[in-house]
A and B are shown apart, each in its own frame.
Chain A
Amino acid sequence: MKVRPITTVKTVVADIEEAGRGIKLFTLVDPDRWELPPFKPGAHIDLHLPNGLVRTYSLCNEPADNTRYVIAVKREAEGRGGSRVLHDEVRPGDVIGVSLPRGGMTPDARIARYVFVAGGIGVTPFLSMARHLERTEQAGFTLHLIVREEVPLAAHLGALIEEGRVVVHRTSRTGRPDLAALVGEGGSDTLVACCGPEGMTDDFERQTAAWPAANVHVERFVAPPPVIDPDAKPFTLLLARSGMEIEVRAGQTMLAALQEGGVDVATSCCGGICGACKVGWIEGKPVHRDRILSPYERERYLMVCVVGSDADRLVLDL
Chain B
Amino acid sequence: MLDTVSAGSAHNATQLGWTGVVRFLHFTPRAFLPMRAAEQINLVAGRGIEGDRYMIGNEEGFYSHKPEEGRQVTLFELETLVALKRDAGIELRPEEHRRNVTVEGVPLNHLVGRRFWLGETLLEATRLSVPCRHIEEITGKAIFDPLINRSGLNCKILQGGLVKVGDIVRNAA
Measured CB to CB, the residues of A under 8 A from B are: 1, 3-6, 8-10, 30, 32, 34-38, 66, 100, 241, 280, 296, 300
Contact = CB atoms under 8 A, between A and B. Distances in A.
A32 B60 CA distance: 17
A66 B36 CA distance: 13
Given A37-B138, A100-B138, A296-B142, A6 B63 contact: yes
Interface residues of B, number: 20
A37 B95 CA distance: 12
Question: Secondary structure of the B side of the interface?
Answer: loop
B67 to A, nearest CB: 8
Interface of B: 28-34, 36, 59-65, 67, 133, 137-138, 142
A30 B28 CA distance: 12
Given A4-B61, A6-B59, A241-B65, A34 B29 contact: yes
6 contacts: A3-B60, A6-B32, A9-B33, A34-B34, A100-B137, A300-B133
Given A100-B137, A100-B138, A280-B133, A37 B33 contact: yes
Contacts of A3: 60-62, 67
Contacts of B29: 32, 34
Contacts of B59: 6, 10
B134 to A, nearest CB: 9
B33 A35 contact: yes
Contacts of B138: 37, 100
Contacts of B63: 5-6
Contacts of A38: 34
Contacts of A241: 65
Contacts of B60: 1, 3-4
Given A3-B60, A4-B60, A9 B28 contact: no
Contact of B33 (A1, A4, A5, A36): A36
B118 to A, nearest CB: 25
